[in-house]
Chains A and B, each alone.
Chain A
Amino acid sequence: MSAQVPVAAYLILAAVLFSIGVAAFLIKRNLITIFMSIELMLNAVNLTFVAFAHMWHQVSGQIFVFFVMVVAAAEAAVGLAIIIAIFRTRETLNVDSIDLMKS
């Protein structure tokens, strides 16, 4: 019942998630998936904030996460609108095909 988990374990988990996010960001060729891997990285960072907030018994870390969520929501709205605009002109979501300023 009272088995404790060191905070370092949470940080390692966050590091794993963050690295997978970096890998997905670099490897994926689909614009939407790349965008999703950014969200994954943000989530990994949020986990470290919450773990530290728990460790120091303070709410500041949790408030940080709250603001990150707000920014992520705004970012998702604008980013997906940009993706829709790109898709409308280029008809593709592959980042390798979207490499010219003029089509």
Chain B
Amino acid sequence: MQLALFIIFGALAVAGALNLLLQRHPINSALSLVVVMMSLAVLYWSLGAEFLAAAQVIVYSGAIMVFFVFVIMLLNAGEEERTKGSRAAYIVGFPGAAAIFCLLSFVFLSERHAFRSSNVGGYLNNITSNISEISSVLFTKLLLPFEVTSVLILVAILGAVVLARKEQ
């Protein structure tokens, strides 16, 4: 079950990410990013983080990406055109990304004896939940960071309103 979920949704996530890279229209890229986020939510669930899976769907796919789609619709952003800068980016971009991938996977594979394997059974089948555990840590040990993030969000809202408002 864990293996099946990993293969199906991992493949879906990679396909969505590649589609983001290859599509020329921003709205297609945005929708493929939604696919990536939804499949990551399923992977989180299979890793026993069901609260995060729900938060991923609600916050990322349901709010942030809707906001992106909304802005693309509002600005009526068309297809991107090829410019001189894009050719230079092709020359630098792909080897750079490949180098980062090689580095990361080399580190992960050389350290793989330190990692264990994950099994899903206990999390998906019982009705146990780690939401209470998360919330007790969040509201006791990490209360200050939690409140600081709420201030951060408030500042972000104010900044967004000020930036997006029409100048008089």
Instruction: Quote the shortest CB–CB distance from B99 to chain A (angstroms).
Output: 9
A84 touches B104 (CB 8 A): no
B83 within 8 A of A: yes
Q: Which of A27, A36, A80 contacts B94 (CB 8 A)?
A: A27
B49 touches A33 (CB 8 A): no
Instruction: Quote the shortest CB–CB distance from B35 to chain A (angstroms).
Output: 11
- Chain A residues within an 8 Å CB radius of B21: 20, 23-24, 27-28
B64 touches A78 (CB 8 A): no
B134 touches A29 (CB 8 A): no
B60 touches A43 (CB 8 A): yes
16 contacts across the A-B interface (CB closer than 8 A): A12-B109, A13-B6, A13-B43, A15-B105, A15-B108, A24-B20, A27-B89, A28-B29, A39-B60, A55-B118, A73-B59, A76-B67, A77-B160, A81-B163, A85-B163, A96-B86
